[in-house]
């Protein structure tokens, strides 16, 4: 098992100022739900929602600047930008192009990853390979979403769950036997219909009909997603520990995609993990898709919950269905 000597040199997040509670959602017209219903089924109590004129790049750039500050670098030091998102500012150009423009670090590579909630770990796997194989020195990796822009606020299957946020990390090569990132395991299954925004692409171009039919909003088959994710989470966790010859006791924290508290609790119980092994901030942040893992890591660093040398296991899963996992030493 090749553990690449790479460290997360800096990390930062940005959550929109506006906070929407469960009670506020329950009071929305044409929506039948309650604080109790939402908490019981998701574990979420509140979430951050972007302003109408606030784009994904607006929060992503703040997260990037905070990550660079922690790493002690400037935009001129960045040699590659990778952005994980399903809610870019435009269909094209990429979110990474806008970040590149706003940071004024032209003539470096930039690319978006569209792997839904699995995107950040997909991007981490890419960054690991670019550093290991191609000699990159400072990769800016961002997970950022404004999912409120594609939420149907009349659909309680999605509007109670998803939220907005961004986080960024600077990945750098480091000395052997200090920090490291294991190989990311990437997987997917051809099930695009279970979590999808139907219109806006080449299959169903924007039209009066597609707008009237609310096809530009996210649609989710919640029960089917729940069953799939529970099994994927379990399988990924077992596989990662086995291939690194580790036990759960070697891991400081499991930092999964903040998908649903019931899913996280169910997997922890099935795998007989100690209480508190899974870090969760879902209750106050909601499901921020590709941003959820780096937002969680930023909070953990700020609270002193992890330090250099700690082992972290991350398992993520999203629309597609897509999934990924990795173990790394902070």
Active site residues: 117, 257, 287
Check residue 174 and report its DSSP letter: -
Q: Could you tell me the maximum CA-CA distance found in the chain, to the nearest angstrom? A: 58
Question: Residues 6 or more apart from 123 whose CB is under 8 A from it?
Answer: 82, 83, 84, 113, 141, 142, 143
Which residue do the tokens 């029960």 mark? Answer: 223
In angstroms, how far is CA 272 from the centroid of its own chain?
Answer: 25
CA–CA distance, 307 with 253 (Å, rounded to integer): 11
Asked if residues 319 and 86 have their Cβ atoms less than 8 Å apart, the reply is: yes
Sequential DSSP letters for 8-23: EEEEEEE--S-EEEHH
End-to-end CA distance of the chain: 17
Asked if residues 45 and 36 have their Cβ atoms less than 8 Å apart, the reply is: no
């Amino acid at each position: 098992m090749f553990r690449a000597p790479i460290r997360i040199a800096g990390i930062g997040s940005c959550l929109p100022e506006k906070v929407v509670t469960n009670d506020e959602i329950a009071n929305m017209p044409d929506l039948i739900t309650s604080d109790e219903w939402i908490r019981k089924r998701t574990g979420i109590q509140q979430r951050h929602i972007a302003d109408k004129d606030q784009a994904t790049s607006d929060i992503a750039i703040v997260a990037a600047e905070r990550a660079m500050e922690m790493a002690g670098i400037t935009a001129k030091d960045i040699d590659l930008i990778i952005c994980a998102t399903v809610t870019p500012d435009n269909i094209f150009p990429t979110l990474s192009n806008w970040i590149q423009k706003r940071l004024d670090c032209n003539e470096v590579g930039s690319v978006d990853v569209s792997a839904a909630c699995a995107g950040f770990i997909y991007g981490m796997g890419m960054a690991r390979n670019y550093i290991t194989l191609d000699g990159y020195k400072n990769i800016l990796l961002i997970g950022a979403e404004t999912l409120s822009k594609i939420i149907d606020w009349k659909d309680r299957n999605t509007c109670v769950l998803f939220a907005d946020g961004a986080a960024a990390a600077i990945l750098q090569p480091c000395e052997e036997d200090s920090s490291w990132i294991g190989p990311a395991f990437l997987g997917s299954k051809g099930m695009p219909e279970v979590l999808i925004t139907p219109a806006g692409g080449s299959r169903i171009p924007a039209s009066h009909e597609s707008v009237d039919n609310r096809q530009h909003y996210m649609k989710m088959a919640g029960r089917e997603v729940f069953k799939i994710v529970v099994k994927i989470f379990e399988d990924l966790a077992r596989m990662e520990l086995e291939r690194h010859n580790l036990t759960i006791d070697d891991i400081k924290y499991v930092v999964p995609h903040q998908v649903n508290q019931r899913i996280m609790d169910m997997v922890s119980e099935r795998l007989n993990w100690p209480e508190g092994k899974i870090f969760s901030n879902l209750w106050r942040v909601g499901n921020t898709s590709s941003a959820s893992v780096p937002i969680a890591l930023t909070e953990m660093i700020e609270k002193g919950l992890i330090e250099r040398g700690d082992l972290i296991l991350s398992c993520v899963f999203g629309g597609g269905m897509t999934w990924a996992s990795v173990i790394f030493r902070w």
